[in-house]
Amino acid sequence: MGLLKKMVTKAAVRTAGNAVKFGTVKHMENTRSIETLTNKSVAKYVLHIKQKTMAIKRNFVVYDQSDNKKYSIKTDSLTFGYPCIRLYNNNDREIGYATLSDKMGMGTYTIHLNGMGETISRKVSAKIKFNIGFKGWHLDGNLMQNSFTVVDKNDALVMKFDSAFSIPDAYVLELYDKKNEELGLLLIMVVELILHGNK
């Protein structure tokens, strides 16, 4: 094969590869943006969790559908191998937190909300699965689709959250009962701990 033909072939392969990448990115932008996930939701209440820019740790701000700030989420700086993420209201009062409490097996996590604690053990699975015992709920996460569902003991959908295609990172939390919003945010924080640890 002549030099010119080789150069043309390489250029064609590179162009095709870039087209595939661009097409994938555009598809993700179109189907997994915050706006798209919100618009196709049938839930009664939706929250947007957006990562703060220019932050050393993975900190987030939580907004309602009208873009009003509701909560802030902050990762502890010093955790000595047991990462912890805390939930605060708009007055910067701590409401609850999620932390890795035991590294054995797939990991055990503890969530605290308004002074009450609950231990959650991750099931042995390639997926993210665990039970929320005191509620009788079950969380099932699809890492390929970055989608997570929580159902009650009757398999009725309680909430759903998706990782949006966004830079910086973001989640869309869909709730079928507004009173579960703080617990829902803590469950997202557990997923953050599993995926990102103490970053």
| 36 domain-assigned | no
pLDDT single digits (tens) 130-147: 888 878 898 988 777 778
pLDDT single digits (tens) 83-101: 899 999 999 999 999 998 8
- What pLDDT score was predicted for residue 136? 87
Residues 9 and 87 in one domain: no
Work out how many domains the chain is built from and give that number.
2
Residues 66 and 143 in one domain: yes
- What pLDDT score was predicted for residue 68? 93
| 38 domain-assigned | no
Residues 9 and 49 in one domain: no
pLDDT single digits (tens) 56-82: 778 999 999 888 999 999 988 776 778
* Cβ neighbours for 81, distance < 8 A, ≥ 6 positions apart: 103, 198
pLDDT category, 185, cuts 50, 70, 90?
Answer: very high
Total-model pTM? 0.74
pLDDT single digits (tens) 118-129: 887 777 666 788
Query: Which CATH number is 146's domain given?
Result: 2.40.160.200
